[in-house]
Amino acid sequence: MTRPNQAQPPTAPSSATVIIVDDDAGIRSSLDSLFRSVGLETRLFGSPAELLGGSLPNGPGCIVLDVRLPGVSGLDLQSQLIRQGISYPIIFMTGHGDIPMSVRAMKAGAVDFLSKPFRDQDMLDAVTAALERDAQHRAEAATKEDIRTQYETLTAREREVMAHVTAGLMNKQVAALIGLSEITVKIHRGNVMRKMGVRSLADLVRKAEALGVSQPRRTTDQT
Amino acid sequence: MTRPNQAQPPTAPSSATVIIVDDDAGIRSSLDSLFRSVGLETRLFGSPAELLGGSLPNGPGCIVLDVRLPGVSGLDLQSQLIRQGISYPIIFMTGHGDIPMSVRAMKAGAVDFLSKPFRDQDMLDAVTAALERDAQHRAEAATKEDIRTQYETLTAREREVMAHVTAGLMNKQVAALIGLSEITVKIHRGNVMRKMGVRSLADLVRKAEALGVSQPRRTTDQT
DNA sequence: GCGGCGATCATACCTACGTATGATGCGGTC
DNA sequence: GACCGCATCATACGTAGGTATGATCGCCGC
C-alpha cells in the first residue's frame, strides 16, 4: 500500500489522523485497518494515560474512544481533554453502554456514540462527520488566531482607542473620554488600522467583533 | 388555582409553558402536577396530531415528549417541528429506548433524553436547562427580528448601498460600482443610517453582519 | 391627470478623517 | 549617556462624510 497522494490540500480527509483509544488490541487493529483502507492516518493507544502521555499530532483529526477504559473512563477523558483545550471531535464506542451515558457524552459535545458491534460504514460515516467538524473548527480557529496575533502587536493605548472607535465613537469623543487631544487619537487610530491590516473601519469593526473587543453601545434612534 | 402573577417579566421562569406530549394519561397528569408545583404553566397533549392541530402558546416554553407515540414517533415529530420552524427545546422521555435512539435525538438538538422511570428532580433540571436555552434563543431571535424589520424598510437601492458601504467601500467607490454619482450614494447612505436606527458606521456594520448582508472583502495588508 | 414616492444629480457648506512634519517627554536598554 | 519605542501635542493640508436646498424624471395609484 503506497500512498501516492502526499501533496494534497491540508483539509483533504486523507491527510487527517484518527486517534484510536481502546484497551482491546483486536479492536485497535481492526479499526486501524478500517481507517487506513480509506486513506486515513492512525494513532493507537491502549489507555487514556498513553494518550495523555504521548504526543498528539498537530494536524486535523478526530478521536475514536471506548467508554470503558482502564484508569480514567472515556467520559472523564473527554472532560479532561476539553479542559486541556484539546478539541479533537470525539466518537464514542461502547460494548455495555446505557442511555444516560450516551446522553452525557453527546451533551459534552461528542460527535457520535456507537454501540458495539457497529457496522464499519457507520463508523466511517461518524469519522467523516467528525473530520468535517474538525476542519470547520480549525478554519475558524486559524482565522481568529491570525486576528489575535495582529491585536497583540497593539500597545495598550492603541487597544483602548480601537475599542472606542469600533464602538462607534468619533475621534473627539474618544479623546474626551480618555483625556487626550483629538490629534493623538487620530495617530493611534492610524496605527491601529495599519497594525490590524485593515483599510476600512468596517473591516476593523468585524475584527473587533471576532476578538470580542468593544462594547456594542446604545444607538437606537432618538436622543 | 388562580394565577396571581400575570404581570411579570416575560423571561421569568414562572411565566413559561411546558408542553407535555404523552399517550399515557397518568404520566400526563403527574407531569402536570410536577411542573405546576414549581410555578410553570402546562399544556397537555395525548398525541402528536393533537399538538400539531392545537394552538401552541406564543411565550417561552419547552416540550416534554415521549418517544413512543401513537401515529408519528417522537423523533419524527421532532424533525417535523424543526421543519415548521417551531423551535421549542425538546426533552425526550422513553420507557423502552435504546442508545441509537437517544443519540439521534441529541444530534437533532434535544436538550435531554430521560429513561422512565426518572426522578422528578432530573426532569425539573432538564426543563430548567431547556427553558434557559429557549430564553437565550428568544432573545437572539427578537434582536435579529428587530433588525430585519428595519432592513425591510430599505429600498432596493438603499440595500445595495448598505451592502457596499458595510463592506468597507468609500462613497465614490460605491458610486462607480453601481453607476451613480457620489452625492446620490451619500443620500442613500444617509437614508440607510436613519432607517436602520444607527448613528455610526460601526453599528451599521454590526447590524449588517447580523443580517448576513455585505461581503467581507479582501483587505489584508498590501495591494 | 395629479400627487406621492423613489431615484437621480448639482451646488454649497460644515464636520470628520487621515497623514505629514516637527517637536517634547518618559522609561527602558545597551 | 545615547538610543529607541511609546506617547503626547501642534500646525497644516487634503480627502471623505453628512446634510440642506433645489431640481428633474419615471412610475403607480386614486
Cell 402546562 belongs to: B42
User: Residue by residue, what is the 3-state secondary structure of chain A?
Assistant: CCCCCCCCCCCCHHHCEEEEECCCHHHHHHHHHHHHHCCCEEEEECCHHHHHHCCCCCCCEEEEEECCCCCCCHHHHHHHHHHCCCCCCEEEEECCCCHHHHHHHHHCCCCEEEECCCCHHHHHHHHHHHHHHHHHHHHHHHHHHHHHHHHCCCCHHHHHHHHHHHCCCCHHHHHHHHCCCHHHHHHHHHHHHHHCCCCCHHHHHHHHHHHCCCCCCCCCCCC
Q: What is the DSSP letter of B11?
A: T
- Say what the pLDDT of residue B220 is: 41
- Say what the pLDDT of residue B142 is: 95
pLDDT tens, position by position, A18-38: 999 999 999 999 999 999 999
Average pLDDT over residues B91-110: 95
Q: What is the CATH number of domain A13-142?
A: 3.40.50.2300
Q: What is the pLDDT of chain B when averaged over all its residues?
A: 89
Q: Is residue A173 over pLDDT 90?
A: yes
**Looking at this protein, which amino acid is placed at residue A175?**
A
Through-space distance between the first and last CA atoms of chain B, rounded to whole angstroms: 72
Separation between Cα atoms, residue B165 and residue B205, nearest integer Å? 9
Least CA distance to B219: which residue of chain A?
A198
Helical (H) or strand (E) element with B69: none
The answer to whether B90 and B62 have CB atoms below 8 angstroms apart is yes
Per-residue flag: B156 CB under 7 A of strand C:
yes
CA of A22 to C1' of D2 (A): 65
Separation between Cα atoms, residue A215 and residue B15, nearest integer Å? 31
Report the number of secondary-structure helices (H) and strands (E) in chain B: 9, 5
- Identify the band that residue B190 occupies on the pLDDT scale cut at 50, 70 and 90: very high
The domain made up of A153-211 is a member of CATH 1.10.10.10:
yes
Neighboring chain A residues of B98 at a CB cutoff of 8 Å: 99
Interface test with A, best of B143, B219, B221 (most A CBs within 10 A): B219
Of A107, A199, A206, the CB nearest to B216: A206
- Say what the pLDDT of residue A85 is: 86
The answer to whether B209 and A178 have CB atoms below 8 angstroms apart is no
Range with lowest mean pLDDT among A66-75, A93-102, A107-116, A189-198: A66-75
- Say what the pLDDT of residue A1 is: 42
pLDDT tens, position by position, A34-79: 999 999 999 999 988 888 887 788 899 999 999 988 778 889 999 9
The answer to whether A166 and A204 have CB atoms below 8 angstroms apart is yes
CA of A142 to C1' of D22 (A): 53
Range with lowest mean pLDDT among B29-43, B149-163, B188-202, B209-223: B209-223
Least CA distance to B129: which residue of chain A?
A107
- Say what the pLDDT of residue A99 is: 96
Domain segments of chain A: what residues? Answer: 13-142, 153-211
Q: What is the DSSP letter of B67?
A: S
Average pLDDT over residues A124-136: 97
- Identify the band that residue B217 occupies on the pLDDT scale cut at 50, 70 and 90: low
Longest dimension (CA), chain A: 72
- Say what the pLDDT of residue A49 is: 87
C-beta atoms of A99 and B100 within 8 A: no
Given this structure, which CATH class describes domain B13-145? alpha beta
- Say what the pLDDT of residue A223 is: 30
**HSE-up (13 A, CA, CB side) for residue A186:** 4
The residue that minimises its CA distance to C1' of D17 is B186
Range with lowest mean pLDDT among B170-174, B214-218, B219-223: B219-223
Dihedral angle at the C-alpha atoms of B62, B66, B69, B73, nearest 10 degrees?
A: 70
C-beta atoms of B115 and A100 within 8 A: yes
Per-residue flag: B38 CB under 7 A of strand D:
no
Least CA distance to B163: which residue of chain A?
A202
CA of B183 to C1' of D23 (A): 14
Q: What cell was used for B93?
A: 422521555
Q: What is the pLDDT of chain A when averaged over all its residues?
A: 89
The answer to whether B91 and B64 have CB atoms below 8 angstroms apart is yes
Through-space distance between the first and last CA atoms of chain A, rounded to whole angstroms: 72
The answer to whether B214 and B208 have CB atoms below 8 angstroms apart is yes
pLDDT tens, position by position, B4-57: 444 444 444 458 999 999 999 999 999 999 999 999 999 999 988 888 887 788
User: Which strand D bases fall within 7 angstroms of a protein CB?
Assistant: 6-12, 16-20
pLDDT tens, position by position, B141-168: 999 999 999 999 999 999 999 999 999 9
B189 closest-nt by C1' vs CA? D18
Separation between Cα atoms, residue B90 and residue B4, nearest integer Å? 28
